[in-house]
Each structure stands twice: as C-alpha cells, then as structure tokens.
Amino acid sequence: MRFPNRIFGIKFAGQLAIIFLVVSSLGCTDSVLKKINPSSSPDAKVIHPVPEGNITFVTTGSSFSPIITVTGNPEIQWKFGDGSTSDSTSPNVNFGSEGTRANTLVVTPWSAVTKINIGYDGSDGGVTPGPNTIENLKNQNVIAVTGLENVAPYLQVWASSYNPVTELDFSNFTALHTIECLYCTSLETIRLHNVPSLTRLCLEHCNISYLDLSEAPSLADLRGASQLSSTYTINWGDTGAQVWHICVRDNPQMNSTFPVNQFPLLEEFFIWNCNQNGTLNLTSTNLKSVLLSNNYYTAVNFSGCFPAGRKCILNIDNNNLTSLDISNDPGLLHLNVSRNSLDQTAVDGILQTLDAYDTSDGSLDLTGNAAPSVIGMAYANNLTSRGWEVKS
C-alpha cells in the first residue's frame, strides 16, 4: 500500500514548528501506522479524559450500584473505575475485587437530577412512603464525593447511610429537603450553607464535632445522636420555628445548649446523656415525649407543656433536680424522676399535682429522692386506685 507524503505541524509558544515526516511506500506496514497512531490498534487501551462538570464517587468495594432519580429524559453517562460505562439510573458494575476506584457521572441537563442514593435502609424513622421514598440500598463503600455542586440547585434527596465518606458539602443546595447519613462513622464535616428547604437531617452515629444549622430555617427533624467525636457543638442560630423532633442523645461530650424558646412546635425532645445542666424551661405546648435522663439539670419547668387528652412521657431520671414544675400538665401520664435530689416537699408536690388531674393508668417513679410524707402517700394511694403505678 502506498501513502502520500504527510506534513505535521506543531505550534509551540505562538510559533509554528514544521516537522516533516515522509512516509514512503518502501517498507511502510501496519506496524508503522500503529506506532504513529496507537488507537488504530484493536488491542490498544485508550484512556479518555474525564469530562468536565462530573460528579465523582470514589469507592473501595468490589462493586458499585448507585441509584439516581431523574425527571424527564436526560442523557445519563456513567463511567466506572474499570472503564465500563452505563446510561442507567440504577447501574450495577462488578469490579471483581476490592480497590479504590473513581466512578464518574454526567447528566445532561443536571437539572433533571432530584435524588442520589448510595446507601439507605429506612432506619431511624426513615422517609414515609410517597414521592420522596428512598429505595433500600446497601452501603456502596464511597469514601469521597466531588462535583456535587453540579446538582446544588436541583437535588432534593441525598442518601449515603453506612458509607465511609469523610466530608459532604451541601452549600447552596436550595431544593434539598432530606439528608440521610445514618452510621457514616467517618463523616467529620458536613456543610449546610444556604439550605432553605432542608427539613430532615439524619446524622446518627457519625464523627461530627461541629454542626452549623443556622442556615437551615425549615429544619423540622434533627437526628444527630452518638457522635464519635471528642467534642460536639451545635450552632442553631435562629433555626427552630419548624422543629418537631430533636434526637441528639448519648453525646456526653456536648458543649452547647439548646435554645428551647426557639422550638414552638417541638413534640419529641430526646437529649439523654448530653452533658446538659442548670435550668430547663420548655415552652412548646405540642410536647408528647421528653427524654432527659443522665444529665445534670437542677430545675425544670414544664408548666402548660402537656395539655389534656395526651399520654405524654417525661423521663428526667438521674439528674440533679431540686425543683420540677408540672403544673397545668393534665396530659402527663408517664413521669420518671427517679435518682434526683428532690426533697419531701417537692415529692409531695408532684404527687398532689398528678392526683389533682384525676387521670388514670399512668406511671410515676420517684425512687432515689426523699420519701413522701403521710399526706404525700395519700395522694399516691389515690393515683394507685385509678390504675397508676407509683414507685417512691
């Protein structure tokens, strides 16, 4: 086969350097062409550059099976660490062995992406069935995610439970309403700058030392129990108007308090073993369950917080209480105030108050405080006669 002479030009620093390459018909074989252009070989491995504007999931497992939810009919381009590709919203690639790999995603347009799921099992309340349901998916061994800013204005749901990811940045995710990061035990940093739609934040069993909620004004459900960090600070800012559930239990390293006057809709307050002390004065009249065990409170005021018609629970055992106000709380049916420092007057007052509500089938534990007086025991007997279980 004959080939015409060819001239190749290479431009360096604004000047054109001409390199003359003469390919003659003498001795010109396919092997020469392959040296000039290796991609012409069917056996050559061509490494294509990663496109700009992608999301990259760095994984360490032997497989990767993410799930994304999109609207419309966008173009989806997955490229996995083994070179394979997919256009599926739920691809499944088996690498054959464990190893660190970069897996990239490009969706055109990015505005079609509403949900990214790399791990979820519905634990800790989960997301109720409906349009925002998250599919159950095992941990995908993701240790890092970059490029999430591509979906910042569009993503509504993020799920990465049980993954060893260390950092997540949701700055300016203005449509994001749900974050699920249960048991992300390596997660040290989560940025929540300008997240006006965020309502549910699950960070149970992570490694976060500082959580800034000041730019999440719509937050309603916070789950941030059992951090592995040596310190734990929550900055609420002015957030709290929509909050109904707070669970940050089992954080004895906590060094911040709760602005409870900012939570007018609070129903469930689970902060046992959280290094809280001093006086607590809750103001929400929507309370149903308050669990404050194993703290250091000395005085607590719940007056008017438990209206009639409810079967409310208050556990404040193992604190340093000398004062407890449960006036105007006929909906309080289960009270554990054991192992505190209540004197006989305070104990008698609790018994008298609960007896006056004329409610039935409740429970009261006063053990570990002063013993009630004879008058106090009369109130206790009245409660018992109406089906209350009273321990004193």
pLDDT tens, residue by residue, 56-97: 999 999 999 999 999 999 999 999 999 999 999 999 999 999
User: Which pLDDT score is estimated for 124?
Assistant: 85
Instruction: With a cut of 70, say whether residue 46 has pLDDT above it.
Output: no
Q: Alpha-carbon dihedral of residues 97, 113, 89, 163, nearest 10 degrees?
A: 30
User: Alpha-carbon distance 55 to 113, whole Å?
Assistant: 12
- Could you tell me how far CA 223 lies from the centroid of its own chain? 7
Distance CA 203, CA 225 (A): 7
Name the one residue in this structure whose structure tokens are 């992406």: 113
Give the amino acid at 361: D
Count of residues making up the chain: 392
| Cα–Cα distance measured from residue 181 to residue 205, given in angstroms and rounded to the nearest whole number | 9
For residue 8, pLDDT beyond 50:
no
Q: What is the pLDDT of residues 181-219, one digit of tens each?
A: 999 999 999 999 999 999 999 999 999 999 999 999 999
The model's pLDDT over 336-389, given as tens digits with 9 standing for 90+, comes to 999 999 999 999 999 999 999 999 999 999 999 999 999 999 999 999 999 999
Q: Which pLDDT tens digit goes with each residue over 144-183? A: 999 999 999 999 999 999 999 999 999 999 999 999 999 9
Contact yes or no for 176/197 (Cβ under 8 A): yes
- Say yes or no to pLDDT of 264 above 70: yes
Q: How confident is the model at residue 52 (pLDDT cuts 50, 70, 90)?
A: low
Q: Is the pLDDT of residue 22 over 50?
A: no
Q: What is the mean pLDDT of the chain?
A: 89
Predicted model pTM: 0.85
CA pair distance 116, 137, nearest whole angstrom: 11
